[in-house]
Amino acid sequence: MFTINRDDTKPIWQQLLDQAIGHITNGDWLPGQQLIPSRELAMQLGISRSTIQLVYEELLARGYIVTSRRGGTRVSTYLTQVEAMPDGIAPVGPSIPASPLIKSTANQLQDWLKGKEADRITIDFTPHEPYLDHLFEKNWRQTFLHASCSMNLCDWEYGDSYGYLPLREQIKRYLSLERGIHVKTNQILLTSGAHHTINLIAQALLNKGDRVTVEDPGFPASWFVMKYHGMHVQPIPVDEHGIVVERIPPDSRLTFVTPSHQCAVGAVLSEPRRQQLLHLALKNQSWIIEDDYDGEYRYHGDPLPPLFSQAPNNTLYMLSFSKMIAPGIRISAVIGSVEAITQLVRIQELIYRHVPIMEAVTLTRFIEQGHFLRHMRRVRNVYRRKHEIMTKAINSSGLTGRFALTGIETGSHMLLEAEPLFDDISVTSQLLERGIRVFPLGPYSLESTRRGWVLGFAKVDEKLIYEGISQLADVLKRT
């Protein structure tokens, strides 16, 4: 019944346990069959009774056997024999749904965010990555260590679904001083990026089949997430003044906009369009998602006042530290009316609970110690300098005689626009072969035929900007 191999590295009790489980699952020991008493079995095998007791206790804990005073120890009658798989046939799990929408949108988002992969990239004009330096890395590391040493045990419990309160208080202060938005902490919900925020809004404030409007070209996540939740997405064209508001249908329940620096095209939403959009939202009782991702970087005059400050009950203001600090932090915030944020929090509690506490505490200390504002001032100066170099490089290259340069008033990217339906993908591939990455306008579009390249300058080395633009001009002259 049992064999003991004293040369086996497994302890004796483990050998016996494995053999007992095998006898039960293979049907050698039938349900209800009585097991040999531990004292007797120990004598048969010439081992300690405590070893047999350990095996029986483990079998009992796993539900293989039952025990009683009168009946002794028996094989559980609830067990059914497991049919062994035929030799050579690997076990197969449940079938995975095809989910073509998930697969296609995930691939498109990856292509948009990361661009085409290449073996060697020496000059990267990505518009999606902010400027980071070793000073930031040093300050963040020190802040992280200090934050971890000062945390209490209660900080590691399940937290507030609104997010870490001290961080929301710091965001409240920043919004009041820098953006002219005056709210209470219960109007601020911490999230893990724009995708997370849009997902919450779709689940909490919209119904399947609702019509939503997005900028086209624009932020792809704004329509990918909405489509995934069954919304009817209506693309609205963008011109030099921003989204064309008069094209928004009256039955639209929500409009996603990037008014401070339009995602892709770079246009700033003009004041007449702003008032038109706000009037439409108030009239139709619809929502506005205001993504202010580049609002802090304006090179002529102060940052524009947010839409939220004029229509706080209809506007959901998105603030992300991905562009202000680093996307790896995965902390952002959505600001809205008390009623709207309360509804979002219900979904947060149900699905996500709250953002990670360690990053939230670190970011709070990072702001409290003044690192955040110093970092922002340093980044503004870097961007202003790179923005000037980029503009001069493009103008001196002769590209503006054939292509239009737009989106140069603010933000960390600009658009070099070609004729509609121009093959911007081919040019992008040719540049990759030279180790230069640019981002074509096509992946930012739903129905738009506008083409060109969204050229970011946050990550590229200042010394390499002229070289990169020169290479771009060389490729375009050959097309």
Same structural domain, 352 and 238: yes
The answer to whether residue 94 sits within a structural domain is: no
The answer to whether residue 169 sits within a structural domain is: yes
The answer to whether residue 93 sits within a structural domain is: no
Listed residues 350, 369, 388: the one ending a domain: 369
Same structural domain, 297 and 188: yes
The answer to whether residue 95 sits within a structural domain is: no
Same structural domain, 293 and 430: no
Closest residue by Cα to residue 258 from 298, 224, 293: 293
Same structural domain, 71 and 126: no
Tell me the percentage of the chain whose pLDDT exceeds 90: 67
What three-state secondary structure class fits 35?
A: coil
Same structural domain, 161 and 209: yes
Same structural domain, 164 and 125: no
The answer to whether residue 86 sits within a structural domain is: no
> Per-residue pLDDT for the chain (479 aa), expressed as one digit of tens each?
788 888 888 999 999 999 999 998 888 899 889 999 889 989 998 999 999 999 999 999 999 999 887 778 899 988 665 555 666 666 777 877 777 777 777 777 777 777 666 568 899 999 998 999 999 999 999 999 999 988 888 878 888 899 999 999 999 999 999 888 999 999 999 999 999 999 999 999 999 999 999 999 999 989 999 999 999 999 999 999 999 999 999 999 999 999 998 999 999 999 999 999 999 999 999 999 999 887 778 777 677 889 999 999 999 999 999 889 999 889 999 999 999 999 999 999 988 888 889 999 999 999 999 999 999 999 999 999 999 999 999 999 999 989 999 877 788 999 999 999 899 999 999 999 999 999 999 999 999 999 999 999 999 999 999 999 999 999 998 87
The residue range of the domain holding 174 is 134-369
The answer to whether residue 53 sits within a structural domain is: yes
pLDDT at 465: 95
Closest residue by Cα to residue 140 from 424, 363, 452, 352: 363
Listed residues 369, 384, 415: the one ending a domain: 369
Q: How many helices (H) and strands (E) does the chain have?
A: 15, 16
Taking residue 331's Cβ as centre, other Cβ atoms within 10 Å add up to 27
The answer to whether residue 346 sits within a structural domain is: yes
Rounded to two decimals, what is the model's pTM? 0.84
| Alpha helices (H) in 151-293, listed in sequence order | 165-174, 194-205, 220-228, 271-284
Same structural domain, 193 and 244: yes
- Omega before 217 within 30 of 0, i.e. cis: yes
Same structural domain, 270 and 288: yes
- Look up the CATH number of the domain holding residue 71: 1.10.10.10
What three-state secondary structure class fits 301?
A: coil
Dist. CA 371–CA 447, nearest whole Å: 42
Same structural domain, 215 and 360: yes
Listed residues 343, 369, 395: the one ending a domain: 369
Domain count, the chain: 3
- Look up the CATH number of the domain holding residue 309: 3.40.640.10
- Look up the CATH number of the domain holding residue 471: 3.90.1150.10
pLDDT at 120: 81
Same structural domain, 180 and 71: no
Tell me the pLDDT tens digit for each residue of 414-439: 999 999 989 999 999 999 999 999 99
Same structural domain, 183 and 271: yes
The answer to whether residue 296 sits within a structural domain is: yes
Rg of the chain's alpha carbons, rounded to an integer?
Answer: 31
Same structural domain, 388 and 402: yes
pLDDT at 50: 93
Tell me the pLDDT tens digit for each residue of 134-175: 999 999 999 999 999 888 888 788 888 999 999 999 999 999
